[in-house]
Structures are given as C-alpha cells and as structure tokens.
Amino acid sequence: MSTIEQRVEEIKEDLDFFEDELQKYEYIIDLGKKLEEFDEKDKIPENIVHGCTSQVWLTHKQKDGKLYFYGTSDAIIVKGLVYMILKIFSDSTIQELKDIDMDIVHELKLSEVITPNRQSGVIGMMKKIKEYALNA
C-alpha cells in the first residue's frame, strides 16, 4: 500500500512525462473522463468545495478506518484535477489525512494550484478532505 507522498510522486512522474504543456492538459482532461459517475443527489451545498472558481463537489465514505472520496466538477480540466486528488488521498487512513501537509500539491507544479483570485481549488479540495478526516 503506497503512502500519500508516494502517490503524489507517481502523479508527478506522469505529468513530468509531457514536455508540451498542451499535451499535459490533454492528459489531465482524459483523467477527468475516468472519474466515477458522481451521484447527482450528492450535488448539495454541504459537498461544495470552497475556493474553487469552478464548481467542485466532494463527498466521502468511511470503511475500516479509511476514507474513500468521490468528486466531480462542472469544468472539464478541473475534473482531471479532482481525479488526481482522489487518487492521491482516497484509501488513506484517517490519521494520514489529518496529517496532510498542504504544501504537498505544489510538488505537482500545476499553475492551477495558485488561482487568480488568490484561492486554490486544489487547496480547497485538500481542506475539504482534511475536514472530512477531522470529523470522521
């Protein structure tokens, strides 16, 4: 079972493979298409991620001391980012999630980590994940 750090490293390696920025984003768009169907009834205000310029919903299930996350977005590229975040943080123990270092996503070197209105959708997702872990 890999750690959160290892999963970040794996995704970073995948992204670093692309020298061309547009190819990288084509890959991210494709990742978004792999997202599990998100239940429409979960698109409720409680599951909205704050800090995203696009709309993002994130929900979770708890099983055997671990949290599993589900999410989606109305924006296509952001869907890809959601996929990456779920891949990194899903299937982690509650304690691991409580200890998340928010700076870890900067390793991915995606400009979307720092968004124009000084809010980060990715950081918003991580905060939501941490919130779910703290309340678990």
Partner 1 sequence: MFRKDFPYFQNSKTVYLDNGATTQKPKSVIDSQVEYYEQYCSNTHRSNFGHANKATYEFEKTRKLLKEFINASKNEEIIFTKGVTESINFIASSFAIDFKTVIISSLEHHSNIVPWHMQNRTLGAGLEVVNCNENLDFDLEHFEELLNANPNAFVSITHISNAFGKIHDIKTITKLAHKYGAIVMIDGAQSLAHFKVDVQDLDVDFFAISGHKTFAPTGVGAIYVKEKYLKNIKPYQTGGATIHEVDYSGSILLDSPYKFEAGTQNIAGVIGFGKALEYINHVRYENIESLENKVFKYLNEELSKLTEIIFYNDLTNCVGSRSFNFKGIIHDDIGILLDKMNIAVRVGHHCAQPIMKKLGIRGTIRVSTAFYNDYVDVDKLIEALKKALSMLKD
Which residues are near partner 1 by CB under 8 A?
Answer: 21-22, 25-26, 29, 53-55, 74-78, 111-112, 116-117
Selecting among 11, 52, 82, 105, the annotated active-site residue is 52
Q: Least distance from C-beta 54 to partner 1, angstroms? A: 5
**Strand 66-73, strand 92-93: pairing:** antiparallel
Kindly state the tokens that stand for 119.
């809010």
**52 given a catalytic annotation:** yes
Residue 3 vs 119, nearer CB to partner 1: 119
Q: Which residues are CB-contacts of 121 (< 8 A; sequence separation ≥ 6)?
A: 49, 51, 52, 53, 54, 56, 78, 81, 112, 115
C-alpha radius of gyration, the chain, whole number: 14
Residue 28 vs 133, nearer CB to partner 1: 28
Cα–Cα distance for residue pair 84/108, rounded to 1 Å:
10
Contact 57, 72 (CB under 8 A): yes
Catalytically active residues are 52
